[in-house]
Amino acid sequence: MRITHLGHSCVLVEAADARILIDPGNFSDDWHGLSDLTAILVTHAHPDHVDPEHIEELVNANSGAICRAEKGAAAAVPQLDADPILPGDVIEVGGARIEAVGGQHAVIHRDIPRIGNVGYLIGEGLGTILFHPGDELDETPHGVDVLACPAYGPWAAMKETIDFARAVGARDGFLIHDRLLSERGWRTAFDRHDEMTETTFHDLRDATPWEAPAR
């Protein structure tokens, strides 16, 4: 499995014969111009996870790609032209298996209503499994090899994201949801997650494809 972090929560996963893009949002433009995608997945409706201004260009450039999104995101961003995906749904694309898990965005504030959020487990046969949670911390599946771990958000402090990484227990990981952090803030989050969990964290901010170690 080859993984490219394209900024904030946007991740390109190349597994089996599939090229799967997750959360092309408006905190990053490194995903602009991508082609030859097999699938486009969206965890929830917030614009830092699906950019309503540019998503139609991506969809048009990848007319053969399967588009799936949490049901609220599918309704809120019609230009994504996505079919809704629900927790427990499983699809297979290009030899890769995608399972939707979770269901709700993490709590931002008690006065802000929670919206839907689905995380994605992506695997290639009996090989590596990646977990991209979107903006949720409640779901902690086992058997994950690589964790895309949120670094920080209005809904997450370090004490919560470290416990989340510990609960998932992945062998390897990298930080996502990180564009709200300064360089010093990012380094602090990275070092703490690497030191305080059993997961080995990797710096993937340069958008260079990273080959996940085989099981």
Q: Residues 80-124: pLDDT tens digits?
A: 999 999 999 999 999 999 999 999 999 999 999 999 999 999 998
Q: What is the CATH number of domain 2-211?
A: 3.60.15.10
> How far, in Å, are 80, 83, 170, 185 from residue 73 at the CA level?
9, 10, 28, 30
pLDDT tens digits, one per residue of 51-78: 999 999 999 999 999 999 999 999 999 9
- Tell me which residue of 12, 16, 11 sits closest to 1, measured CA to CA: 16
Domains of the chain by residue range: 2-211
* Distance in angstroms (rounded) separating the CA atoms of residues 41 and 117: 12
pLDDT of residue 126: 74
pLDDT of residue 125: 80
pLDDT tens digits, one per residue of 155-211: 999 999 999 999 999 999 999 999 999 999 999 999 999 999 999 999 999 999 999
H-type alpha helices, 28-80: 55-61, 71-76
